[in-house]
Amino acid sequence: MKRIVSFVAASVLAAPAAFAGGYVAPVVEPEVAPVVMPVAGRDWTGFYGGVQLGYGDASVDDFDFSADGAFGGVHAGYMYDFGKFVLGGELAYSAADISSSDGFGKIDSMTQLKLLAGADMGDWLLYGTAGIERLNVAVGATDFSDNIGFGGIGAAWAMNDNWMLGGEVLYHKADDFDGTGVDGDMTTVGLKASFRF
């Protein structure tokens, strides 16, 4: 009997200790927002317009004639970004003062219609370009004009969502210019600043 009483007493005394840690409130983990990784690249799709400034060096194949000087004007175009590949078209007009040292011959203006195709490299666009341009030339008191072809390379850097800076190197080739039988070529280097709409 003493053993039973001792057992019951020990059980009663141990019960509070056994149940002391019985119920534990569940720990609620804080919600963590999903991590969104930035998407590489930039969408070059859209219309743009701006200004250009550059330098040209021209020569005539059949004569010892050369001309050089500055040009500047405006441009407008549209590009579509396919992901890694960008395709676009541009219209540009430049007034020019590309003249011979004696002032006898001078390129007055250039109007260009060009196709651009290049690689989307994020904030940079590297492209090739080709097209046709209307070239107006004054030789003495006579004006000549003709459509000639050109091609070259260019690059554009997106400063932000709206502004981009760029540059182009173009090679221009004229054959039998305005029916005169004169052939010539010109290399131009230009800088561009454009606003994307």
The label of the residue with tokens 């004569």 reads: 63
- Which amino acid is located at 125 in the chain? L
| Number of domains the chain contains | 1
Return all residues near 134 (Cβ < 8 A) that are at least 6 apart.
109, 110, 111, 145, 146, 147
> Is 133 within a domain?
yes
Domain that holds residue 75: 46-196
Whether 34 is covered by a domain: the verdict is no
Domain assignment of residue 184, yes or no:
yes
Dihedral angle sign, alpha carbons of residues 69, 73, 78, 83: positive
Strand, helix or coil at 179? Answer: helix
CATH at 115: 2.40.160.20
pLDDT band at 43 (very low <50, low <70, confident <90, very high): very high
- Lowest model confidence (mean pLDDT) among 20-29, 92-101, 103-112: 20-29
State the average pLDDT for the chain: 88
Domain annotation covers residue 35: no
3-state secondary structure of 18: helix
Per-residue pLDDT tens digits for 178-193? 999 999 999 999 999 9
pTM of the complete model? 0.77
The answer to the question of residue 39 being in a domain is: no
Mean pLDDT for the stretch of residues 41-69: 93
